[in-house]
Structure 1
Amino acid sequence: MAKANKTRVITGRNTRLSYFHGWEPASINGGPERYSTSVLIPKDDKETIDAINKAIDAAIEEGIAKFGGKKPNKAAIKLPLRDGDAEREDEAYKGHYFLNANSKTAPQIVDKSINPILDRDEVYSGCYARVSLNFYAFNSNGNKGVAVGLGNIQKIRDGESLGGRSTAAEDFQTETDDDFLN
């Protein structure tokens, strides 16, 4: 029987993607290119929040060697789960916790029936999705904490786009409209 992975979490169905870079890797703040997204988790999704907190604890336990051989105080290290109400002045983050996940390899992106999504317009910042996440300890250049690896993404449903981008239908009228070229 396979050993359970205590650092892996699959989010609930009401999580939302923000700053989505799942189709092409992007460099954030001049760092190496990675596939990434910010995952918005409603504060009332207690099951996902509890699973994340347990995965963070497991990552700390598994990473004790990276922390100098002893378990660090959580207040002394960087933790990935953050409060959108306290840290962001963005309506989309209100009432949510969030975390940033990234990976060197592209996530598999599927629909509700686990069929691959090929149309890149189908998954975007603002849609609702389940996301597989892996939590791990890090100690790099004096920074210590727990980071989040991006696994796979399952789109659950559409949501209002968070990118501020309009569609062509919103921008233009058809040639049959009465006021075309008036």
Structure 2
Amino acid sequence: MYQNDPMKVLTGECRLSYCNLTTPRAAQQGGEPKYSVTLLIPKTDVATKADIDAAIQAAANEALSKVWNGARPPQLRVPIYDGDGVRPSGVPFGDECKGHWVMTASTKNKPQVVGIDNINCELAPSDIYSGMYARVTIRFFGYSNSGNKGIGCGLGNVMKTRDGEALAGSASASVDFAGVGAAPAAAPAYGVNPTAPAAPAYGVNPAAPAAPAYQPPAPGPAAATPPWNTARGVNPITGQPM
């Protein structure tokens, strides 16, 4: 029971699959489009499973007089399945369903999908996807359609609790375009062949050895400076009399 409604349940955290929460979709061709989602409820969440069982029973009790004219179906069809088993068609559930209870809820009216950090603001469509985790309000009801009698599950609202690995083979843009968006290499100057070797300076033979750097000639031996007291008439270089 949730909010004093014996047929209403607020689930614990579950994983969402087959999310049609932003655009309605018909279950089969020609059918009425509805908003819907499949809930993967961990089997370890015994509290949620107990609430669901009690709500189904309450819906069956109400339908007994209001829908089924006092005749309860001998085999009551319920909308919850064992993810470790098979679908009603006999096809096994996917690997993501292992260890979970599987149930689909739908509604004609668009549900509100909010985040746990701000329940007053609806999420953008890009933040809503199969594989995310959420808590969901659901309500059970009895139906009788073309001789088929059972319990259906109506979808209320969704509160996203955290992100998860996307289901249905979805991939992020960063994975799809890895390496494609890298910046291109800088273009070479106009008229320049980037594969050609650099041209040598004009008039220079690239095979010739490099010219040595200019070196000034070494200075010769300095002339001896005659002493100040050299006698007049003597050759200052030879030391002989002139």
Superposed structure 1 runs of 4+ greater than 6 Å apart? none
Deviation at 1:4, TM superposition (A): 1.7
- Which residue of 1 is the match for residue 20 of structure 2? 21
Q: Percent identity?
A: 38
> Which one of the candidate residues 100, 107, 114 is aligned to 1:103?
107
Q: Which has the higher contact order (CA 8 A, sep 6+)?
A: 1
TM-score, scaled relative to structure 2: 0.68
| Contact 1:102 1:148 (8 Å CA) reproduced | yes
TM-score, scaled relative to structure 1: 0.90
Aligned length: 173
- Counterparts of 2:120 and 2:168, CA distance in 1: 25
Structure 2: 5+ residue runs without aligned partners? 87-91, 186-242
- Counterparts of 1:147 and 1:10, CA distance in 2: 16
- Counterparts of 2:56 and 2:84, CA distance in 1: 21
- Counterparts of 2:163 and 2:155, CA distance in 1: 20
Deviation at 1:50, TM superposition (A): 0.3
Return the index of the structure with the highest Cα Rg. Answer: 2
- Which residue of 1 is the match for residue 120 of structure 2? 115
* Deviation by residue 1:40-88 (Cα, 9 ceiling, x = unmatched): 1001100100000000000000100222313444xx1211111111023
1:176 and 2:186 matched? no
The DSSP-based 3-state class of the residue aligned with 1:160 is coil
Deviation at 1:91, TM superposition (A): 1.0
Please state which structure has a larger fraction of its residues in strand: 1
- Counterparts of 1:70 and 1:144, CA distance in 2: 10
- Paired letter, 1:86: G
- Which residue of 2 is the match for residue 36 of structure 1? 36
- Which residue of 1 is the match for residue 200 of structure 2? none
Deviation at 1:177, TM superposition (A): 8.2
- Which residue of 2 is the match for residue 149 of structure 1? 154
Structure 1: 5+ residue runs without aligned partners? none
After superposition, the CA RMSD in angstroms is 1.6
